[in-house]
Amino acid sequence: MDLRFYLENTRYAAENLVSLVWEQKRESIRLIQEHDEIKEEWKARYAVSVPGGNEETAHFEEENGSLAMKLKQLEWVREIKVNSLQVLSGALLQIAKQGLSIVHGNFDRWPTGKVIRGNGQAVTLKEIIRHGRNQSMHFEDDLFEETKEFFDRLAAVAGDSDLSARKNPGKNLAFEVVDFLQWNDYESYESDMLLMR
Q: What tens-digit pLDDT sequence spans the chain (197 residues)?
A: 999 999 999 999 999 999 999 999 999 999 999 988 988 887 777 665 445 544 444 444 556 678 788 888 988 998 999 999 999 999 999 999 999 999 999 999 999 999 999 999 999 999 999 999 999 999 999 999 999 999 999 999 999 999 999 999 999 999 999 999 999 999 999 999 999 99
First to last CA, the chain: 11
Pairing mode of beta strands 115-118, 121-124:
antiparallel
Nearest to 110 by CA among 197, 1, 183: 197
The number of domains in the chain is 1
* Res 64: pLDDT: 62
CB 78 within 8 A of CB 35: yes
User: Which domain range does residue 117 map to?
Assistant: 3-194
CB 152 within 8 A of CB 164: yes
User: Could you give the CA distance from residue 152 to residue 163 in angstroms, rounded to a whole number?
Assistant: 8
User: Could you give the CA distance from residue 68 to residue 147 in angstroms, rounded to a whole number?
Assistant: 40
User: Could you give the CA distance from residue 33 to residue 125 in angstroms, rounded to a whole number?
Assistant: 34
